[in-house]
């Protein structure tokens, strides 16, 4: 049996993250970075410790934040990995470990932090 | 082979040679902003796990001018990502045939942008409803 490529896994994560960020990414940035902090259209109270904690202690809230952080990281990692190749960095182990390593570390950190709440 | 010194066309700065390549690199560069935003959220979750005062300090940081400026920049990059994601979608998905006619690329892009507007509006209204 021939050795199977790992690329489809990374491409799938890239595609899923790209689609999720294309659908709701800009709105998430507006909500968490502009609307709530500045109190535009949404109440600043939404970022009170109690509310954010309660949101993430519910399994659905934790799952939502986990999926957003993780898929955004895998999307970015895959794209940056291939763009580095375009810029002359060989698509070999060092740049692969750097890009996918950050995505993997971020995924594990997000899971650990959310489960500890 | 070692002795031959054949001409190799230099590739340095290739993407600055043509507006098409420049747009390609701009599209690929949105990935940096997507990663930056994910790490911002990850930092927020880390602060949340450290308790109330740590989390409140993180939220206070979000209200600072540099953080707001960063998020305005992120918003522009994410909107560009949304636009380009659905612009290349006709090339990355299998052809869609309806009533014997292949869907034109412009229709697929327009449907994708409409889906983004709908999903984002739903998220915003959903948040307002539970708030």
Domain boundaries, chain B: 14-130
Which of 1.20.1300.10, 3.20.20.140, 3.30.420.40, 1.10.3720.10 would CATH assign to domain B14-130? 1.20.1300.10
Fold of A8-116: 3 helical TM bundles of succinate and fumarate reductases (1.20.1300)
Q: Report chain B's mean pLDDT, rounded to a whole number.
A: 93
C-alpha to C-alpha distances, B129 to A37, A46, B124, nearest whole angstrom: 18, 12, 9
**Residue whose C-alpha is closest to residue A46's, from A54, A25, B84:** A54
Is B41's pLDDT higher than 60?
yes
What pLDDT is attached to residue B2?
63
CA atoms within 13 A on the CB side of A34: 15
Cβ-defined contact of A22 to B112 (cutoff 8 Å):
yes
Residues shown for chain B: 131
Q: State whether residue B43 sits within 8 Å of chain A by CB.
A: no
Q: State whether residue B26 sits within 8 Å of chain A by CB.
A: no
Where are chain A's structural domains? 8-116
pLDDT per position as a tens digit, B64-119: 999 999 999 999 999 999 999 999 999 988 888 988 898 899 999 999 999 999 99
Contact (CB, 8 A) for A47 and B59: yes
Is A1's pLDDT higher than 60?
no
| 3-state DSSP assignment of residue B101 | strand
Confidence of residue B130 (pLDDT cuts 50, 70, 90): confident
Q: Report chain A's mean pLDDT, rounded to a whole number.
A: 94
10 Å Cβ neighbour count for B117?
14
Contact (CB, 8 A) for B16 and A87: no
The average pLDDT across B31-50 equals 98
What pLDDT is attached to residue B31?
97
What pLDDT is attached to residue A32?
98
**Cα gap B86→B98, rounded to integer Å:** 19
Contact (CB, 8 A) for A45 and A51: yes
pLDDT per position as a tens digit, A37-82: 999 999 999 999 999 999 999 999 999 999 999 999 999 999 999 9
Cβ-defined contact of A109 to B46 (cutoff 8 Å):
yes
C-alpha to C-alpha distances, A96 to A10, A61, A87, B122, nearest whole angstrom: 11, 31, 14, 36
**Cα gap A32→B40, rounded to integer Å:** 10
CA atoms within 13 A on the CB side of B68: 11
Confidence of residue B25 (pLDDT cuts 50, 70, 90): very high
For chain A, counts of helices (H) and of strands (E): 6, 0
What pLDDT is attached to residue B11?
83
| 3-state DSSP assignment of residue B98 | strand
Is B1's pLDDT higher than 70?
no
Residues in chain B within 8 Å Cβ distance of A106: 38-39, 42
**Cα gap A82→A86, rounded to integer Å:** 6
Helix/strand/coil (H/E/C) assignment for every residue in B67-97: HHHHHHHHHHHHHHHHHHHHHHHHHHCCCCE
């Amino acid at each position: 049996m021939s050795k199977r490529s790992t690329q489809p896994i990374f491409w799938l994560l890239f595609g899923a993250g790209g689609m999720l960020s294309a659908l709701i990414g800009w709105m998430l940035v507006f909500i968490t970075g502009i609307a709530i902090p500045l109190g535009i259209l949404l109440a600043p109270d939404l970022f009170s410790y109690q509310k954010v904690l309660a949101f993430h202690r519910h399994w659905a809230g934790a799952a939502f934040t986990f999926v957003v952080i993780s898929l955004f990281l895998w999307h970015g990692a895959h794209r940056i990995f291939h763009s580095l190749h375009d810029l002359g960095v060989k698509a070999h182990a060092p740049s692969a470990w750097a890009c996918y390593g950050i995505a993997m570390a971020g995924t594990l950190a997000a899971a650990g932090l959310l489960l500890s709440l | 082979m070692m002795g031959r010194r054949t001409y190799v066309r230099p590739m340095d700065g290739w993407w600055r040679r043509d507006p098409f390549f420049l747009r390609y690199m701009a599209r690929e560069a949105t990935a940096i902003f997507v990663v930056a935003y994910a790490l911002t959220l990850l930092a927020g979750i880390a602060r949340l796990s450290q308790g109330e005062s740590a989390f409140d300090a993180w939220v206070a940081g979000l209200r600072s001018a540099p953080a707001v400026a960063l998020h305005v920049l992120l918003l522009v990059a994410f909107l560009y990502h949304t636009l380009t994601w659905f612009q290349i979608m006709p090339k990355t998905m299998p052809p869609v045939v309806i009533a014997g006619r292949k869907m034109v690329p412009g229709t697929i892009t327009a449907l994708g942008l409409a889906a983004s507007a709908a999903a984002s509006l739903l998220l915003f209204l959903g948040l307002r409803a539970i708030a």
